[in-house]
Each structure stands twice: as structure tokens, then as C-alpha cells.
Amino acid sequence: MKLTRILVAAAVVTALTAGTAAAQSTLENVKSRGQLKCGVSTGLAGFSQPNAQGKWEGFDVDYCRAVAAAIFGDPDKVAFTPTTAKERFTALQSGEIDILSRNTTWTLSRDVQLGFEFVGTDYYDGQGFMIRKDMGISSAKQLDGASVCIQTGTTTELNLADFFRSHNMKFEPVTIDTSDQAREAYEAGRCDVYTTDASGLAAQRASMADPSAHVILPEIISKEPLGPLVRHGDNNWGDIGRWVLNAMITAEEDGVTSKNVDEMKTSSDNPEVKRLLGVEGEMGAMLGLPNEWAYNIIKSVGNYSEVFERNVGVKTPLGLERGLNALWKDGGILYSPPFR
Amino acid sequence: MVMSESQVPQDDGSIYYPPGQHPNLPPPPGTVGIIGWLRENLFSSPVNAIATLATLVLLYLAVVPIVNWAVVDAVVSGPDRRVCDLGRTATALGEGIASFSAADYALDPTAAGLSESQAAKARGDQRAASSAFLGIESTLGVFLDRYAATEKAGLVPASLEPVIAKVQPQQLAAQLHDAVAKKNVAAAEEIYGELKPLTDWGSAYNGACWVVVKSRVTLFLVGFYDRDQLWRPLLAFLGLLIAVPPLLFTGMPFRRRLMWFSAAYPLIAYYLLTGVALAHGPLRLVLGALVLAAALVPFAWPGVPARRRLLVFSYVAPVLAVVLFFALGPERVFGFEPATIQAKVTDAMAAADSSLNVGQVVSKPGGLLEQFLSGDLYVLGLPLSPLWWLILIASFAWGLVSVLRQAARRASEAEWRSRRPLVVVVALLAGLILFAGNQVNHDGVVMPTVGTDKWGGLLATLISGVVGISASLPIGIVLALGRRSRLPVVRALSIAFIEAVRGVPLITVLFMSSVMLPLFLPEGVNFDKFLRALIGVALFASAYMAEVVRGGLQAIPKGQYEAADALGLTYWKNMRLIILPQALKIVIPGIVNTFIGLFKDTTLLGIIGILDLLQVAKSTNSDANWIGFFQETYVFVGLVFFSFCFTMSRYSIYLEKKLDTGHRRR
Amino acid sequence: MAVDLAERAKLGSSLWTDQRFRGLLLQALTIGLAGTFLAFIVHNTAHNLAERGIASGFGFLDVQAGYELKNTLISYGPTNTHGRAFLVGLLNTLLVAGVGVVLATVIGFILGVLRLSPNWLLSKAVYCYIEVVRNIPLLLQIYFWYAVMISLPQVRNAMDLGIGAYISNRGLQAPAPILEPGFSIVPVALLVGILIAIGLSRWAHKRQEATGQRFPSFWINVGLIVLLPVVAYLGAGRPMSFDVPKLGAFSFRGGFTITPEFVALLLALSLYTAAFIAEIVRAGILSVSHGQTEAAYALGLKPRWTMRLIIIPQALRVIVPPLTSQYLNLTKNSSLGVAIGYAELVATLSGITLNQTGQAVECIALTMAVYLTISLMISFVMNIYNRRIALVER
């Protein structure tokens, strides 16, 4: 009887105090769990947004689905964890999520000090300004003394302060927690200027009662390379995140789309396409993934262009042009290292 | 009226009555009926009359715009925002026209004789007027574009068609374009006049756009819950409606019977909503140990009553215990990593005692038992599996029934007989919920698992509210007793906890429990985000509850404590039987008020990324398809909260009246 | 004693039945458990922080903040440190909480008394108002008041109050006093006035106790406190000028501003809390037995005096403890100001600073410590007041 009691106690103690057992890699964890845990935004038009059917959709969401497709061959094996700006980093640090795909700007301090690894840039953004047309302002440099509505929790506040300081101008910040309140304050005339990432400005303007009464100023005051990030230390997991993104870009470069991927797989003569789709080489095995990983991504989620156009492109309410996010050969700066 | 002799007609025609003989007269007309009521309650004094009138005016000013916005001018039909946008744009057009001032437009800031500040003002006014002059044209353009799009989709509201036919805005737009190009203010103002029916229509169509709520109502109610499984939250909600009243109303018919359901409801709701057996992970280990211990009783204690029945249970129990120990399915609804914990437990056992190795071998990942128990029964060629599970459930139920039977022995035999069917049903149900969940859901037929990441909207709000309420009361009672304990350490700890939690805002507590808890736990041990939020809410509410309960404890006269001590009751018996029943009764209104506060506080869950009702509204407001309709979503959320909280508040008043002892002021 | 020992020996279980020993054992166990638990958490946190390479410590407070805040009580710019931003937030929290407590008390008492009004319509209207406000989450009410604030006229059509002050949806812009040398005599005069007033009321009170004669000290005191500074101000040759706001390219420049964010948060907090206070006041007044009123009337006191001398002092005993809770709630609820851009503690320290530095543990712990301190201080003050008004049984 006594022995049993000691045994049970020992078991419980071992179960509660971890550390002895060797930590599993993130990929193994994800595989054994059967689900990818992906942190997204609680609501950002075009990037991550619950639709009326209760499904997450958007640009950032599709990246998570692509990772799930690469690992499981099934884009639906993702548990989305909505995160706010404040808790996103701790959620990733504490291991609650495997990957954070939440319009997060790649900065040095986040990469180094917070212990993260950005796997790449999936969207090149920049901070812009919107202002009422009847103010007669045509440049951000005329904004001395203006009051500016900002949504908190981003690099926005810092960029703004830097911009005004470097041009020796003053401003009155109205720093609000959520975008809907910030936008409402702007539309009511509480602020002269509304500032956020350029990707958000277009959608905000289009949904005004009278879009023609507002203009977006030409200046983009910051570089905002937005990308997914993972924890430092598990390089294989970072590689998977990086090459999922690269696979989507390469697929666009080589003209592989979700519609023609089956056909390309059998008939393409392009060696890179063959390697990408797992017909030749062992690219998947190197990453610890099935060899058809990229095929699965493209088949079920699509290439970069498809994802872009579906969520934020010109036919969506956001109506964004590719701009910087076009391929390098189309005048943008998207560039994937080769698949070999 | 027949005159009696005592009624003496007087000379002036009046009648003299002797004292005490006068028949009752009707009350003066001003003191009865509606007029009397009005006079007494509304116009009893000049001050009162003024107050009444002022209140009426205020009510009118407050209520009329709200009703206009929410009902009269509201848009309720249509699939998307286009119809609402038409109204909004037409209103914006009207506002632009109203703000345009021809006089300002004609200002000349460079005119002689203007002071510097006058010139500055004139410049500003002139600029505003000229930009309004251009703005009206572009707004009209936007309206026409939106109208064209709506017309193409066949969604033009019936009330707009005659207005368009009458105003012909396309032609007016062309004329306006000419007028603006020629800077002809007079011609433009004439066109503005002709546009009036359109802007009038707009301002009568500029109320709430309820379409936004309508199109996302499921998201508001259940969040991401699987759309083909909506019957489950619905059933759980209906169950709540049945489970709660017996707890609240003492005079309810069938109250005792329904209480059984109320007691079982948390299990049922959990099972319904998650689709996972309650007992999994560590809980299942504990339960397994308990079952095993229970099975040992008839051997250890030969004189135990109903030993024969218990013996049968003992034969089944080992099987059950093994199942409990090792049937750890891959589900992780509340996020415990059962596989990890199981591995650690078995490792430890293997290291310490080789006799338990059998279990480890059988149960190691991918091993025989795991496959067998994780539901892949057909793979193993055991088509009898449902029968197998039936036997397990039945044996558990049997064990439970025998225990209850034993407990009921003190009651009369007849009473036991009358309740037996109910007890058996409850026991079977408990067995089903505790152990059978995985199997049903692995077959994927009845109830697939729905993780807490899918819970949202009103469902999440209600769950966190109900769980917080049910958890905070017992914790609060313990804390309150601790605060009044004679043991200084216990008292100090209770006070420290209560004051610390009451002294900080809920959002920091939530942030702590959500974001920091994972940092407090050993690596790799993690549990569900929703559960963490629930812990935060429950701890916060229990500190408040503790203070409410303490108020009740202090109100009990000292004599009650002393009398109980004199009877030789132990501390816990004293509390349970004498003090708490009285104390809790006094503070029920306070408890309900704490519940209301807790329920409202669930709106803060959004801060840690849980999509509760308010957060769904916010995500709707930032949806590119619905940007700009924030009033509607917030008002809807406000109404939902009001209806729940007001109901609770009325219940609190009802209780207050019921418990009123009658020494109140009138 | 001997019997007791013998009894104990007979029972054979020496220590276990001793209540004191059991108490000690239980406490030792509790301490042990709590200590272990605490050590467990601290160990894990330190281990996890180190493992994940998260920097810890409060060094970040000395780092340049880099973000801008406006309408601060102390001067602040983006080149200041996070520590200063924290101070800005703290002062803003204290400001809105302090003003809110006063406002909520006043409104709450008025509503509570109106709720008991004999006028049926008024009483019911107040009842409806209280129920609506009490039963809707505060966050929504903050949004509502902010929406009301920003629907005021735009800055170009600002309402001119005539004294150089303007109201628009940028808030209230009013002339800011500029103190010139020699102004220091005014606060001195104010202080003197207050001191004299206190002395006078003491004397008047003593005189009334001794002789029963009343001295109309109230109006004299008001006169003293108001007039002395005014006289001093005029005597010193008006050593103050005003910085009047002027309409610039975007909005008013100069003067001082009360922002709509502050007003919206203040209104939402005070009206929400006032609804609760109204119920507390009502319950307090109702708790005074009707016999007290009747007795007062029988003594010939007028209703107003009955209320002031008989009802309110007794009701206060019931009112003050829950009132303290409401003050605490209001202070803590001010943390919701971040939702509409009021730069209070949670917006600065646990908001932007936390986002920029990523030091969640420190930021949240510091925020909690500050709120805890404020709450304990409020509790302390209210407890002193409560003890003063408590029923002294003789």
C-alpha cells in the first residue's frame, strides 16, 4: 500500500515538473497534435477576418492554411488563435501558437530582443495618411499642427513621431485601441488625419459615406515588411515557414496555379516546377515534409498571386494594386530563392 | 332618497342631519380616477408639476430620435450594405448642400479694409465654401455610381424609385457639372433645390442598418461553432432554461425532480458543446484511481452493506480502471496534453515497479490498447465494440446505483422505489458522459469534437458568465470563511488574496491569467486559452463574492455561533448547518448583483483575444464589407446584455421583496 | 488541570485532539503549500524567461519611448523615457478617477433622492435610467459617450462661448492663465482664508455647544475663501494674463484644452457609477426606519432638517461601505479609457510601452501594483471616514 502511494506521488510529480524529457521539435508536436496552431489578428479587413459562416479568411489566414497543407496535405487542419496586438508575442513565446501570421512588422528588436525569427515578408506595406479633401492639403509635409487618429499597438505610433520630428513639425495624437473607433473619430472630424498602413487606408476610404470627400496623401512614411514569425531556436520549423512562402512565390513565377497544378505536374518540362511539385528531387524530405508539400499548398490554397487577388486584390473591397508586392520581374520586390 | 324623521329640511333648502347620520358622499371628483391619480402623483405641488413637465420634455427629446433611428428610418431588408449606403450617401449629399453658403463662396479675402484675422477667417470660409461647391458634385457622382450598382443587382428600395423618376438625378448631375465648371452659383443652387426630394428620401432612409446584424447573426450567437452542429448549442441553451429556474424559484412545481437535472446540467452541457467525454487527461486518472479504490472496498471490509452488489462492481472495476488509465484519446479540448502526461506517468511507473510494465507495453503510442480504445475498433475486427462500451457504461452505472442505493437506505424503502428509475437514468447518463464521449465522436457519426477555439459570440459570453458564476460562489464562500478564520495565517492569506484581486482592474487580471499563466507553468504544460480566461474571470469574481458573503456572515448574531458551539458541532458542521444557510439568505441580492457585474465584465474577454459578443461586433466593424456600421452592432450587443442583466436585476428585486422583513420606510 | 490531563491521557491521542495544535499544523501546512506554490511559479517564470531569451528587469523604463502623447499634465515628448510616459499615464488615471469620484457622488446622490421623489413620473424615469445604465456593459457606454462627444460641431463651426473659449469635437478650448511674478500672493491669501474659515467654524461650533446660539459662519467662510484671494489678486495689480486659443490651419492653437476623450470617459465612468451610487443611497435612506422620521416630525423638525439631521447621518452608516467599493470600481474602470484614446496608465504603460518593449511581465506587474496602491489608499481614507461616522454605542 505504501509503495503504491509513493509510486503515484512520484508519477504525479514527474508529470507536473517537466524538464527531464527531451523537448519535441515543433514539427513533431504539430504532427502528433494533428493540427497547426496559428495566431492571427482578431479582425483586420482582408488579412484575417471571420466571415458570416464562422470561418476565418484573409491573406494572413491563407498563409496558415498553406503551412497546414504543406504538413498535412489538408489546409483545414489549422486551429486559429485570434490574438490582440498586446498578447501576440507572449502567445508565441509561451508556445501557445506554433506560428504567428498577424501583419507583424519585421524589425530588428522583434527579431533579436524578443527571441523570434521572421521567416520572410509576405506583404510589403507602408504607413500612409488620409485627410479630408476640403482641407486643401496635398502633402504630409503640410500637416504641422494637425491632430492625427492612430490605432494603437503597432509600429504606427513610432513612425508617426519620427516623421513629424524629422520634419520639425508638431501634431496631436489621438491614439485609440481599435480601428473602428479610430476611423469613426476621423470621419466625425475629431482628427484631421487618419494614419495606418496603406493597405488599410484604401478599404477605409472606400467604405466612407462619401469616399470622394477624402484623399490619401502620396507620402508613405515607413517601411512595413509584414511577415510570419516563429520562435528562435527551432531552425527546421523556421525553414518550413520560410519555404512555404517561397513555394507560393515561386509557383506564381513559374505560372503554377491551383487550376493548372495537376496538368503542370504531369506535363511541365521546367525542372524547377518539377522539383517544386515533387516530381523530381527530395525537397520535401529535406524539410521533413511529404514530397508533395508544395503541390498540396498550390492545389488547396493557391500561389501568391491567387491568395493576394482573392483577399486584398483590386476586385475586393480593399482594392489594392500589387505595387511592391509584385514579382521582381513585374516591377515589384518579391523574390524567392531558387528551388534546388 | 327616502327621508327619515331625523332629516330635517331647513329653511334655505338644505337638510340638517344629526351628527353621525349623514350618508357617505362620493369623494370629490378631483381625487379619484385618472385625474385624482395625476393630481396626487404628478401635480401635487408647483415644484412637482414643473418636474413632471421637465421630465416629459426630456423623455421626448431622448426617446424620439432613438425610435426614429432604430425603427422608423431603419433598413432591415437586403443582402448587403448597398441599400444602406444609398441612404447614407443621399444624406451626405443633403448635408453638403445644407453646409454650402453662397455668401461665403462670394467672399473676397483680399478685399481692402479687412483686418488680418478677418482676412484669415474669410480665406477659411471661402475655401470651405468652394470645396463644398465641388464636393456636392462629387457626392452626387458617388450616389449615382452606387445607385447604378444597386439597380444592376435589382435591390433598389421601392420608396426610392418614384423619387428617382421625379428628380432625374442623372440629368441634374450633368447640369450641375456645367454649373460648377462655369462657377455659376445661382444655377447650382437651383439644382440643389431640385435635388431636395432625393436628400429628403435619404434622411428618411438613414436610420439603423440592421442588415449588418441580420447577415451575421449566427456569428453573433455562436461564433465559429461548426455550422452543421448548431443543434448542440441550441440544445444546451434550452437545457439552461430548464436547469436554472428550479434553482431560483422555491415554489416551482416538480422542483425536486428538476434539481436532479440542474445538478447534471454542467456535465451535459460540457458534453454537448465539446463532444468530448468529461473524464480525460488527468481527470480520468483521478477517476480511475477512485473507481479502483471503490472496487477494493468489498474485499477490505467484509461487513460492508450490500456487499454482493459491490462485488459485481469490483469485478468490472479493474477493466474500467485500465480503460480510464489508458484510454486517453487524441482530443485536447481543454488543452491538457494527455499523451505527454500519460507517457510521463507510465515512464515513472516503469522505472519504479516492473509489475506495471504490462500496461505500458500495451498502451505505448500506437500500441494495441490505444488503437483499440481510440475507436479504431473496426480495424481490429471487433464489430462488437458498441456492445463492449454498453457493458462498460452499464457497469459503471450499476456501481453508481448501488452506492446511491446504499446512501438512500436511511430513507424509507418506498421513497427509494419511487425514485429508482430516475436514479438509474441519471447514473446511465453520467456513465455515458464520463466515458463514452470519445467513442461516439471517433466514429464521427453523432458528435464531432468542437474545440474551444470555435466558441464565440453569445455562446462564449454565456459560458464564461455561467461558469464564472458557478465557480465564484463556492470559492467566494471559502475565502469569506478564511477571512473570518481564527487562524492568523489562513486569515492573512485570504485577506491578501481578496484585497489584491479587488484592488486591480479586471483587464490586468485577465491579461495575467491569459498571457502570463503559460510563463508560470513548467515548459510544455499548457492549457486551453478559454479555460485560462475562465480562471481569470472566476478568481476575480470570487474576491468580490467573498466580500458579499462576509457581509452576510457578519450579520449573523453572535448568539448563533455560540449556540452552535454549545451544541458541540464541529466548525464545518456549524458553518454548513447553522451559519451559512442564514448568511447566504441575507446576501442573495448582493450575490445576484455580483453575478450581473461578472456577466457585464465578460465584455473584456476580447482583450485577450476571445471572440465574445462584443468582439464579434468589433470584428464585424472592421470587416471590409461592413466598415462604418458600428452603432448597429454595438446597440445590438447592448440590447442582448441589457436583456440578460435586467432579468437578473428583476430577480434580485423579487428576492429582496420576498426576504423583506417589513421594517422599511414607506 | 489534573482532570484535564488525565482525560487526555485516557483518550490516548495527545496532540491530534488539541485544537491549538491542529490549528498550528494547518497553518504550517498552508504556509508550506503557499510557499511551495510561489517558489514553483517564480522558478518556472525565471526558467521560461531565460529559456526564451526574454529580457527582464525594469531597465526599459529608462529607454527613450519614441511615441507622442498630448494633453499631458506634465511636459512630455517622444524623446522622453518610457518611465516618464508611465508617469503621464498615472497622472491621467488619477485625474479622471479623482474628478470621476466627485462627479459620480454628486450625481448619484441626486439620482438616489430623485428616485424616492413622490412624483411618479420622475421616480419612474429615474428608475428606467438607472436600470438601463446599470445593465449595459461600461465599455459600450464609453463608446456611446465618445460618439456623442465627436458629434459636436466640427472645429470650423466651433461654438463660441464668448470669453475666448470654444466648444467643438476637439474638446473645450479655453484661455490658459499665464502666471506672472507676484502671483504667489494669491494662493497665500487663499490659504489664509481657508485657515481663518476653519478657525471660525470651530469657534462657532463651540459657541453653539456652549450657549445654543448659532453663528452664521457658512456665508462668512465662503466670503473669506473667495474674497481674500480676489482682493490679493487685485491688490497685486492683476499679475496674470491669458493665452487665448486661436484658430490655426487645423484647429485651435494656444490656451488649454479639455479633450473629448477625457470628457467622454469621465461622463461614462461617473454616470455608470452614479447609477450604482443612486441605488446605494436609496437603500441607505430606506434603511432608516420610518419611525425615525415620525419621531423627528413629532419633535417639530421640518422635513429638510429631518433629512439633514436625522436621516442622512444614519443612512451614511449604511451608504459608506458600499460607496467605497464603487469608488474603487470607478478607479479601476478608468483603465477602459484606452478604448477611446485617453492616455491613462493602461494605454501608456500596459499599452504602447508594452507593445514596443515586449516586457509583458514587468509592465503588467507594475500596472497592477499601481492600481493596488491607489485602491488601498482609497480604502484607507474611506475606512477612516467610516469610523468617524460609525454608530458610537454608549
Indicate the residue of A15, A87, A179 with minimum beta-carbon distance to B514: A87
- DSSP annotation of B209 reads B
- Looking at residue B335, its pLDDT comes to 32
* Interatomic CA distance for residues B83 and B79, integer angstroms: 9
Give me the mean pLDDT over the A79-92 stretch.
86
Of A114, A145, A158, the CB nearest to C253: A145
In a domain, A217, yes or no: yes
* Helix extents (H) in B301-367: 307-326, 338-352, 357-363
Is B607 within 8 Å of chain A by CB? yes
Query: Residue B645: helix, strand or coil by DSSP?
Result: helix
Residues A84 and A103 occupy one common structural domain: yes
Amino acid at B214: K
Chain B residue nearest residue C24, CA to CA: B487
Tell me how crowded residue C213 is: count the other CB atoms within 10 A of its CB: 8
| Chain A contacts in chain B segment 347-366 (CB below 8 A) | 347-349, 352-353
Q: Chain B within 8 Å of C366 (Cβ-Cβ)?
A: no
With the CA atoms of B313, B314, B319 and B320 taken in that order, what torsion angle do they form, in degrees rounded to the nearest 10? 50
- Residue B525, chain C, CB below 8 Å: the answer is no
Asked whether residue A75 falls in the same domain as residue A153, the answer is no
Q: Residue A229: enclosing H or E segment and its boundaries?
A: strand A229-231
What distance in Å separates residue B521's CA from the closest CA in chain A? 9
Cell of C69: 502623447
Interface test with C, best of A102, A154, A168, A190 (most C CBs within 10 A): A190
Residues A115 and A159 in one domain: no
> C-alpha cell of A139?
502633402
Dihedral, CA of residue A71, residue A77, residue A82 and residue A86, to nearest 10: -20
| A246 and A217 together in one domain | no
Q: What residue has cell string 491530534?
A: C16
C67–A157 C-beta distance less than 8 A: yes
The SS3 call for residue B379 is: coil
Let me know whether A117 and A143 are in one domain.
Answer: no
Instruction: Calculate mean pLDDT across residues B619-636.
Output: 86
338-367 of C, contacting A, C-beta below 8 A? 338-341, 343, 347, 350-352, 354-356, 358, 360
* Bridge partners, residue A50, by sequence: A56
Partners of B300 in beta bridges:
none
Reported confidence tier of residue A306, pLDDT bands at 50, 70, 90 = very high
Domain ends where: A176, A192, A223?
Answer: A223
> Is B66 part of the contact surface with chain C (CB cutoff 8 Å)?
no
pLDDT in tens, B248-281: 888 888 887 788 788 778 877 887 888 765 554 4
Q: How far apart are CA C168 and CA B483, in angstroms?
A: 52
Q: Report if residue A39 sits inside a domain.
A: yes
Residues of A in contact with C55 (CB under 8 A): 113
The Cα of B489 is separated from the nearest Cα of chain A by a number of Å equal to: 26
CA C304 to chain centre: 29
Q: Select from B483, B573, B59, B187 the least CA-distant residue to C122.
A: B59
Is residue C225 in some structural domain? yes
- Interface B:C, Cβ pairs < 8 A: 159
Whether residue B641 and residue C137 make contact (CB cut-off 8 A), yes or no, is: yes
Q: Which residue has the higher pLDDT, B503 or A5?
A: B503
* Binary contact (A145, C250; C-beta < 8 A): yes
Give the separation between CA B274 and CA B459, rounded to whole angstroms. 12
Beta-carbon contacts of B446 under 8 Å, excluding residues fewer than 6 positions away, are B440
Q: Is B91 part of the contact surface with chain A (CB cutoff 8 Å)?
A: yes
What is residue A154's predicted lDDT score, i.e. its pLDDT? 67
- Residues A246, A110, single domain; the answer is yes
Number of domains into which chain A is organized: 2
For residue B507 the three cell numbers come to 483587464
Q: Is B358 left (phi over 0), alpha (psi -120 to 50) or beta?
A: alpha
For residue C283, is it within any domain? no
C192 in a domain, yes or no?
Answer: yes
pLDDT of residue B443 exceeding 70, the answer is no
Cα–Cα distance for residue pair C221/C202, rounded to 1 Å: 12
**Inter-chain touch A83–B611, beta carbons under 8 Å:** no
A246 and A302, same structural domain? yes
List all chains that touch chain B, counting a touch as 3 or more CB pairs closer than 8 Å.
A, C
Question: Which residue from C68, C250, C355 is facing A153, i.e. has the nearest CB?
Answer: C355
User: Which of A254, A256, A294, A260 lies closest to A277 in space, CA to CA?
Assistant: A294
Tell me: pLDDT of B599 over 60: yes
Subunits with 3+ Cβ pairs within 8 Å of A are B, C
Cell output for C189 = 491669501
Look up residue A305 and give its three cell numbers. 498571386
* Nearest one of B224, B235, B323, B333 to B278, comparing CA atoms: B333
Give the residue carrying C-alpha cell 436583456. B643
Handedness of CA B656, B657, B663, B666 (dihedral sign): positive
Report the alpha-carbon distance of residue C277 to residue C130 in Å, rounded.
10
- Out of A223, A256, A288, a domain closes at A223
For residues C138 and B157, the model is more confident at: C138
Chain C residue numbers with beta carbons less than 8 Å from the beta carbon of A135 are: 250
Chain C residues whose beta carbon lies within 8 Å of the beta carbon of residue B634 = 140, 143-144
**Shortest Cα distance from A196 to chain C (angstroms)?**
15
Residues A153 and A287 in one domain: no
CB-based contact (8 Å) between A318 and chain B? Answer: yes
pLDDT at A128: 92
Alpha carbon of residue C50 to chain centroid:
39
Match 496552431 to its residue by C-alpha cell. A37
Examine the pLDDT at B363 and tell me if it is beyond 70. no
d(C-alpha C135, C-alpha B567), whole Å:
45
Look up cell 428620401; give the residue. B201
3-state secondary structure B131-165: HHHHHHHHHHHHHHHHHHHHHHCCCCCCCHHHHHH
pLDDT of A17 > 60? The answer is: no
Q: What is the bridge-based pairing of β-strands A36-41 and A99-100?
A: parallel
Percent of chain B past pLDDT 90, that is, above it, reads 14
Per-residue pLDDT at A336: 93
**Is residue A174 helix, strand or coil?**
strand
Residues A118 and A231 grouped into a single domain? yes
Q: By percentage, how much of chain B surpasses pLDDT 70?
A: 71
pLDDT band at B348 (very low <50, low <70, confident <90, very high): very low
Interface contact flag, C341 A85, Cβ < 8 Å: no
pLDDT of B609: 84
- Greatest extent of chain C over all pairs of C-alpha atoms, in Å: 97
Whether A54 and A110 map to the same domain: the answer is: yes
Is residue B282 scored above 70 in pLDDT? no
Q: Which residues of chain C have pLDDT under 70?
A: 1-17, 52-55, 391-394
Counting the structural domains of chain C, the total is: 1
| Per-residue pLDDT, C55 | 67
CA distance B448 to B438: 9
User: Which of A199, A223, A247 finishes a domain?
Assistant: A223
Task: Using CB atoms, pick whichever of C30, C137, C371 lies closest to residue B600.
Answer: C137
- Please say if the pLDDT value at position B38 is more than 70: yes
pTM flag (> 0.80):
yes
pLDDT over 90 (residue B325): no
Provide, as residue numbers in chain C, all residues whose Cβ is less than 8 Å from the Cβ of B665: 285-286, 288-290, 293
Across the interface, whether the CB atoms of B55 and C122 are under 8 A apart is answered yes
- Asked, for residue C96, whether it belongs to a domain, the answer is no
- Indicate the SS3 state at residue B224: coil
Q: C66 at the A interface (CB within 8 A)?
A: yes
Helix axes B282-300, B307-326, angle to 10 degrees: 150
Give the range with max mean pLDDT: A61-65, B204-208, B500-504, B601-605.
Answer: A61-65
Is-contact C107 C268, C-beta < 8 A?
Answer: no
CB B380 within 8 A of CB B372: yes
With 0-12 / 13-18 / 19 or more C-beta atoms within 10 angstroms meaning exposed / middle / buried, residue C199 is exposed
Phi-psi group of A47: left, alpha or beta (phi > 0 → left; psi -120 to 50 → alpha; rest → beta): alpha
Note whether A272 and A246 are same-domain residues.
Answer: yes
Of A62, A110, A119, A58, residue with least CA distance to A89: A110
Cα–Cα distance between B429 and B393 in angstroms, integer?
Answer: 9
Q: How far is Cα C247 from Cα B315, in angstroms, rounded to an integer?
A: 90
Residues of A in contact with C170 (CB under 8 A): 147, 190
Interface check for A154 against chain C (CB to CB < 8 A): the answer is yes
Indicate whether C234 belongs to any domain.
yes
> What was the ipTM of the complex prediction?
0.84
Q: How far is C343 from A175, CA to CA, in rounded Å?
A: 8
CA distance to A78, A178, B274, B335, C172, per residue, from B529 (Å) = 16, 22, 15, 8, 43
C-beta atoms of C352 and A174 within 8 A: no
Domain that holds residue C236: 177-242
Find the domain containing A319 and state its range.
Answer: 27-122+227-325
The answer to whether position A289 is within a domain reads yes
Would you call A44 helix, strand, or coil by DSSP?
Answer: strand
Q: What is the mean pLDDT of residues B417-440?
A: 57
Instruction: State residue C308's pLDDT score.
Output: 85
Q: Find where cell 518539377 sits.
A: A274
Q: Supply the CATH number for residue A145's domain.
A: 3.40.190.10
Residue C304: the pLDDT is 83
Query: What was the pLDDT predicted at B390?
Result: 53
